[in-house]
Amino acid sequence: MTVTDSSGAYVVLLATGGTISSRGSEAGGGAVASDTGEQVFASIGEPPAHPVRVVDVFRKGSYLLTVDDMIAICARIREALSAPEVLGVVVTHGTDTMEETAYLAALTHDDPRPVVFTGAQQAADSPSPDGPGNLARAIAVAGSPEARGKGVLLAFAGAIFPATGVRKCHTTKPEAFANPDFGTIGSVAESGEVSFKATPRQHAALPLPRAGAGPRVDLVAVYPGADAIQFRSSVQAGAAGIVLQGTGTGNANHPICQAVAEAAAAGVVVVTSTRVEAGAVVPVYGDGGGEDLHEAGAIPSGWLRPSQSLILLSVLLRLGEAPDRIAEAFALRGKAPDPERPAAGTPEQQKPTTSAVKG
């Protein structure tokens, strides 16, 4: 049911577009985000597990989103949670950049009530859309008492993932997401039954930066035979930060190491991640490898992949953090999660802080 008053508890649905709202254009072109939040909600076709209030944020394919758009979504999440009657928040979002927006939300989330991202792989007018089922399950998770203190989640095809480390793993299959390093933290059945495993420790929230002209942050890939032209072009374009998508454990070559040293000396913050699907970035190799990058001033991303490294670096730079503080933040937030430590929502994890490196 759609909430028309605030007399009881409810889940807020923030609709931002994506495949779950997309239909083929009348001119016969590609699918575009067109359905309103109410239309997306109505597609589930049966009473939800919890009452829902629908809010339209915008209707965009997530391949169009900017960091400012993602900040706007996070601001709407905070606005929704300002009402004490709200059980939790569901965000319908395109799958292309869901891992980025969900991670930004996780970095800045300071409320025990859950935020659940979901979407679809099949358009709303396809013969067998998966969006309605994903949305119904996400609503069940967002309103579940068991989800409190679990932070920001991604619910897709019955699996529940922590936002940190999640990434799109297939372009078309319904099982679109994976977390190769940390796995799932729960599941949700078609009936709405929610089950959780042990919850990783949640770091203290960062302040949500204001939308606006933030510093430029680029992503540059390393590949066989790569020179430093693309990297130096980013520096010349005014990048304040660069995420280097290295090979293996975070490696490059001699020309790129030299360019990194020059950029770091000029105040550009460089973070080294990897193109490899799983495992940590560990500075090991010399002769142009990851240890040389580290010596040149690059910051290892730990377990964070390029997409989420870019979000963390963008946030830290927008908050005005110095390079040494950014290195501390990546050392902390790029670690493997510890499920034995207290979960988010406990008193010690809910103390407000403005430090980027507080745990």
DSSP per-residue codes, 225-292: T--SHHHHHHHHTT-SEEEEEEBTTTB--HHHHHHHHHHHHTT-EEEEEESSSSS-------TTSHHH
**3-class secondary-structure state, position 354:** coil
Contact (Cβ atoms closer than 8 angstroms) between residue 325 and residue 297: no
What residues are labeled active site? 19
Note every long-range contact of 183-187, with CB atoms under 8 Å and residues 24 or more positions apart, other chains counting: 184/159, 184/160, 185/150, 185/153, 185/160, 185/161, 186/141, 186/150, 186/153, 186/159, 186/160, 187/158, 187/159, 187/160
**DSSP per position, 225-244:** T--SHHHHHHHHTT-SEEEE
Q: How far apart are CA 221 and CA 325, in angstroms?
A: 25
Q: What's the rounded Cα separation, in Å, for the pair 150 and 349?
A: 12
Burial 27-62 (b: 16+ CB within 10 A, else e): eeeebebbbebeebbebbeeebbbbbbbebbebbbb
Q: What are phi and psi of 85, to 5 degrees?
A: -75, -15
